[in-house]
């Protein structure tokens, strides 16, 4: 059997096709790894947005600082676990890529073996050597595969533990949300109670102020009665001026019996004082007229006596 360039070039076409297939497989593996990284990044961003939303809700609800610190700690632990998961996925993608490369190498070795079987008998010794090398390579590959399987098992265990930790953290976040909701409800109830207390305090303050003004009005009415009794008209005038705005203030409470009686009493005192003042004024005028008449009579008598003495 003769060896020619044509017989050597014949197996080259399958080798080129195998190389192209290996390149396509490698690019597909890289593309899948990139998609996994993008998905992990998107999940990380969604979880970050959820954590930020939880933190904003807690702040809007005015939760306790202890809950805020617990949520921050949980968020930090979630980020750390996400980083571990991302690293484990990347390692797994790298192992898958290595396995694909090893499969490509095995295919290339099979093709080379097939090509070598088709070559001249002179290459049998070389084939045997290559077979020995291939056997060694296969043993190495088996060892590498075993190591990869062990690494995959370790990664799966790490992923399971990370998943369990994430579940625990999510449960803690839910519990924190429940505590925050209960705290917000308690705060709302407390605010409502404070508003009611403030309204009651305001009403009580106004009531006390009105009672004080009512006592002042009653005291002024008693003083007005005393001034009218002792005919202290100057003090009575001051008391009437002071009672005028107080009576105007209590006009809106005229439907109350005590207030109505007090206003009626003040009006009667005013009218009685006015009538008493008019009577005193008329009496004073009469007394002055009588005194003037008596003085005139005395003067006339004195004048008559003086005239009689001269005559």
Q: So what's the pLDDT on residue 224?
A: 86
**Total domains, the chain:** 2
In a domain? residue 193: no
What would the two tokens of residue 173 be? 């976040």
Say whether both 25 and 61 belong to one domain: yes
Say whether both 79 and 43 belong to one domain: yes
Say whether both 163 and 213 belong to one domain: no
Residue 253: give the domain boundaries. Answer: 201-310
In a domain? residue 1: no
CA of 227: how far to CAs of 234, 238, 263, 267, in Å?
A: 9, 10, 18, 15
In a domain? residue 191: no
Say whether both 56 and 173 belong to one domain: yes
Buried b (16+ CB within 10 A) or exposed e, 218-241: eebbebbbebbeeeeeeebeebbe
- Grade residue 199 by pLDDT with cuts at 50, 70 and 90: very high
Q: What is the mean pLDDT of the chain?
A: 77
Q: So what's the pLDDT on residue 65?
A: 58
- Grade residue 153 by pLDDT with cuts at 50, 70 and 90: confident
pLDDT tens per residue across span 80-138: 777 777 777 777 777 778 888 888 888 888 887 777 777 666 666 777 777 777 888 88
243 by DSSP, 3-state: which? Answer: helix
Per the model's pLDDT, the better-predicted residue between 44 and 164 turns out to be 164
In a domain? residue 276: yes
Q: So what's the pLDDT on residue 8?
A: 43
Say whether both 105 and 182 belong to one domain: yes
Say whether both 175 and 286 belong to one domain: no
pLDDT tens per residue across span 33-59: 667 667 767 777 776 776 676 666 656
In a domain? residue 192: no
Can you spell out the DSSP letters for 10-79? TTHHHHHHHHHHHHHHHHHHHHHHHHHHHHHHHHHHHHHHHHHHHHHHHHHTT--HHHHHHHHHHHHHHH
The beta strand positions in 132-191, using DSSP E, are none
In a domain? residue 268: yes
Say whether both 179 and 213 belong to one domain: no
- Give the distance, in angstroms, between the CA of residue 174 and the centroid of all CA atoms in the same chain: 17
Q: Which residues contact 59 (CB under 8 A, 6 or more apart)?
A: 68
Q: So what's the pLDDT on residue 204?
A: 93
Say whether both 235 and 296 belong to one domain: yes
Say whether both 68 and 94 belong to one domain: yes
For the residues 275-293, what does the mean pLDDT come to? 79
pLDDT at 2 over 70: no
Say whether both 63 and 174 belong to one domain: yes
For the residues 199-210, what does the mean pLDDT come to? 91
pLDDT at 70 over 90: no
pLDDT at 186 over 80: yes
Say whether both 205 and 182 belong to one domain: no
Share of the chain above pLDDT 70, in %: 72
Cα Dmax for the chain: 207
Say whether both 206 and 181 belong to one domain: no
What would the two tokens of residue 85 be? 């998961």
């Amino acid at each position: 059997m003769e060896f020619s360039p044509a017989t050597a070039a014949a197996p080259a076409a399958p080798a080129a096709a195998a190389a192209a297939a290996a390149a396509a497989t490698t690019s597909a593996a890289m593309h899948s790894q990139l998609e996994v990284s993008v998905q992990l990044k998107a999940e990380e961003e969604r979880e970050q947005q959820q954590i930020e939303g939880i933190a904003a809700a807690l702040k809007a609800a005015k939760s306790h600082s202890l809950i805020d610190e617990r949520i921050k700690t949980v968020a930090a632990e979630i980020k750390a676990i996400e980083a571990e998961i991302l690293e484990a996925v990347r390692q797994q993608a790298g192992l898958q890529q290595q396995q694909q490369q090893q499969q490509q190498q095995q295919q290339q070795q099979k093709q080379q073996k097939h090509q070598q079987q088709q070559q001249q008998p002179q290459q049998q010794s070389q084939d045997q050597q290559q077979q020995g090398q291939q056997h060694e390579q296969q043993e190495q590959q088996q060892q590498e595969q075993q190591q990869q399987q062990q690494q995959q098992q370790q990664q799966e265990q790490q992923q399971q533990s990370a998943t369990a930790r994430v579940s625990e953290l999510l449960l803690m976040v839910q519990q924190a949300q429940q505590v925050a909701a209960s705290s917000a409800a308690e705060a709302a109830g407390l605010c409502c109670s404070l508003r009611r207390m403030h309204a009651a305090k305001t009403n009580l303050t106004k009531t006390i102020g009105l009672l004080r003004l009512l006592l002042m009005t009653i005291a002024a009415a008693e003083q007005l009665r005393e001034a009218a009794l002792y005919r202290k008209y100057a003090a009575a005038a001051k008391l009437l001026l002071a009672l005028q705005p107080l009576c105007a203030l209590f006009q809106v409470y005229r439907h109350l019996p005590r207030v109505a009686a007090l206003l009626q009493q003040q009006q009667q005192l005013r009218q009685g004082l006015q009538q008493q003042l008019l009577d005193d004024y008329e009496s004073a005028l009469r007394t002055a007229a009588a005194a003037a008449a008596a003085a005139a009579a005395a003067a006339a008598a004195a004048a008559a006596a003086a005239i009689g003495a001269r005559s």
